[in-house]
Amino acid sequence: MTTRAKPYVAALLLALLAALPTAGRAEPRPPVVIPDGLPAQDREMLTLALEVAKRSGDILERWIAAKDVSEERLFGFLYYPVPKTDPPKFTTDWDKLSDRDILPVEEGALGRSAAIVYAVLVDRNGYLPTHNQRYAQPLSGNPAVDLVNNRTKRIFNDRVGLLAAKSAAPFLFQRYQRDTGESMVDLSVPVYVKGQHWGAVRLGYRQVEGR
């Protein structure tokens, strides 16, 4: 095991222990403890991901409170296919709300470091309603171009994507080989809405040596 990998193992063990079920209704979650052994860059990314997850959960709860979408529909996980899209794209009862309210949060996170490749919110099935603007360019009709430039409103149900979306651990670091050929770290933090696990925030970033 490399020296670089050891902090990930320790962090993963801590995350899995914290995710073990407890008896009865879920209680308010204590603040996540960031392991001291994580490299500086990973600590920075985890701090950011936790911030974005909290803000995203608050936004989704405001939608419910304002009756912009019902809790039932938000947790209904219904997807409406967008015709003639490959890979398939989907809309939902709330993705336009995400385009309005979640995008500024994602773009703010993306701008925090040049090493960040993406900063997105996904639901529990890996559905990504609103990608960063750089990956939500108009469809060109060229599959090779659109695979890179229009990745929004897809369900990312690859192994890394599903683990990120479904994990209830406080955080999860994974090695990610993107379908565009890029390799990076994928960090996910769960998002809760009214005490229920709804999905996750995912940060993809390139490691900077020495940090």
Task: Kindly report, residue by residue over 107-153, the tens digit of the pLDDT.
Answer: 999 999 999 999 999 999 999 999 999 999 999 999 999 999 999 99
Report yes or no: 187 and 50 within 8 Å, Cβ to Cβ.
no
Ranges under pLDDT 50 in the chain: 1-3, 5-27
Task: Kindly tell me the sign of the dihedral angle through the C-alpha atoms of 151, 153, 157, 161.
Answer: positive
The tokens for 123 are: 């639901």
Task: Show the domains of the chain with their CATH numbers.
Answer: 38-205 (3.30.450.20)
CA dihedral 135, 194, 163, 176 (to 10 degrees): 30
Cα–Cα dist 43/5, whole Å: 14
